[in-house]
Structures are given as structure tokens and as C-alpha cells.
Amino acid sequence: MPNLSLQLWLPYTGATRPWELAMHYQTRTNSVHTPARVAVLPLPLMRHAALKFSILLVPLVWLCLQPSASVQATTILGMDIDQVAADAELIFEGEVIHRETRQDQNSGLINTYVTFNVIDVIKGDFAGDSLELRFMGGAFNGEIVEVSGLVIPADGEQGIYFIESLNTDMLNPLLGWSQGHYLIVNDNGVRRMSTVDHRPVIDIQPVANIPQVIKKPQALIEGNTEVAAGVMTEASELRIERALSVDEFKSRIADLIGN
């Protein structure tokens, strides 16, 4: 029987129970695209997320079958910044001090392990000086695995990170993907905040109390560029002088948590 795939949506159900999925992920070797590999992994349902993948169909239910295809874009359910702050298990300011790519001997999956120097804990019960987080994808022995929409923190990167769970393995441990990933930029000696795609963050406004009748409904967004509702940005990274300082950003997040 040939490999068949479907578009699978995993909406938030409040569950963290793993689903055994065989997921296609695109690989590149020496800059040449190769057919999608297949590996089996336990994929927890991400809270507040809708994930869209091209997957190898697993036993039990056969629905909407189509020929196997390349990886589809990862689509995330948009969140309010109030939600991101409230639901993150850990929020911290940190700096990437080490990255290491490993291949799982059982599944064959390639993951990147990122070690952060924890500079300041904004929310959560964490007393360590460093923290290692696992992100799916990376380069290993000449092979590159990429998950569309997943941005792995870079070497030397400084930022503020919203961690969904410290105890559950996920494709991306950052809550809401780009909605929980913010960079610190040095602007003539002033440390300021930007989004993961380098847009200056100029304000953070709570939106949880906006009446539902006038509140903008949640939308599906790309996982590598969009910010949570309530995060106000400048379109151009050249306007970084307008961005919130690190202390201002952290103060606004602390206010959201306190409310």
C-alpha cells in the first residue's frame, strides 16, 4: 500500500496526551532537497495551538486521503498577550550560550538543544542559572531538518522567552511560537525589545477585558512572524529607538500576570 497523507488539525482541547504521529519533515543534504523522510514521534497537543501538517496516516482512522506531499506551513492559533503571559509556565530573560544538534537513536529525529543563561525570571518557579530546551530540527552530519515556521534561538541571542512547559517535549517549547519569542536589541547602549522578525515592540496592551462583541476573533497565523494580540509593533526595524526598553517590557508583562 502506498504512503498516504492528510491535513490534520490539532485544535486545543485542554489535553496534553501524546498522539503517536508519523510526520513528514523536509530534509536538505548539501543544499539539495530530498524526499520527505518519515519518523514516528509522540506529539503532545499544544495548548492554544492548531497545527497543520502533512503526515503519514497512522492506523485506525482513514480520512481525506491524498498522495504524500511535502511539508505544509505550520499554522498557529493566534493568542492574546494576556493568554501568553498567564499560560506560560516560565517567563525569563536569557541569553543563548550553547547549541547542540542530536539525532534520536530510536526515532531518527533531529533536534536542536539550546542552553540559555537565565538572567532574570519574570514568572515561574525556576532557581537554576541555566536552562536547556529542545527544538525540533537542525543540521546533523550534513543533513538539515527544518520545521516550517519554527525559529530556533540563535547562538548569542538575548531575549525574553515564554515557555509553555518544562516537563513536556514539544516541537517548539515557546508558547505560541513567535508569540512567545522576543529579542533584545542594543540601541546605542539602551537594551530594547523586538519581535523575532525584528519589528520594534513599542507597547503592550491588555486585551482580555475587551467585550467579546467588539473583540477581534482569534485567527490562524504563521508560527514564525506574528505576535500576540495586544503587542504593538513598528513596521520597520529602523525605528528601534521607539521600542520598549527591556525593563519596560518586563514591567508590562508583570502587570498582566498580576491582573
169 by DSSP, 3-state: which? coil
Tell me the pLDDT band of 205, cut-offs 50, 70 and 90.
Answer: very high
Q: In this predicted structure, what is the pLDDT of residue 194? A: 98
- For 65-105, the DSSP string reads -EE---PPPPEEE--BHHHHHHH-SEEEEEEEEEEEEEE-T
> How far apart (Å, rounded) are the C-alpha atoms in residues 175 and 162?
6
Over residues 37-76, the pLDDT tens digits come to 434 344 443 444 444 443 333 332 322 333 333 445 567 7
The answer to whether residue 117 scores a pLDDT higher than 70 is: yes
Q: In this predicted structure, what is the pLDDT of residue 246? A: 98
Residue type, position 133, single letter: L
> How far apart (Å, rounded) are the C-alpha atoms in residues 180 and 48?
12
Contacts of 32 (CB under 8 A, 6+ apart): none
Average pLDDT over residues 142-168: 94
Q: What percent of the chain has pLDDT over 70?
A: 68
Q: In this predicted structure, what is the pLDDT of residue 149? A: 86
- Contact, 216 vs 209, CB < 8 A? no
pTM of the model as a whole: 0.76
Q: In this predicted structure, what is the pLDDT of residue 213? A: 60
> What are the C-alpha distances in Å from 189 to residues 85, 197, 247?
28, 21, 14
Max avg pLDDT among 108-112, 184-188, 216-220: 184-188
Q: In this predicted structure, what is the pLDDT of residue 107? A: 84
Least confident of 30-44, 79-93, 94-108, 223-237: 30-44
The answer to whether residue 171 scores a pLDDT higher than 80 is: yes
- Contact, 157 vs 211, CB < 8 A? no
> How far apart (Å, rounded) are the C-alpha atoms in residues 221 and 82?
17
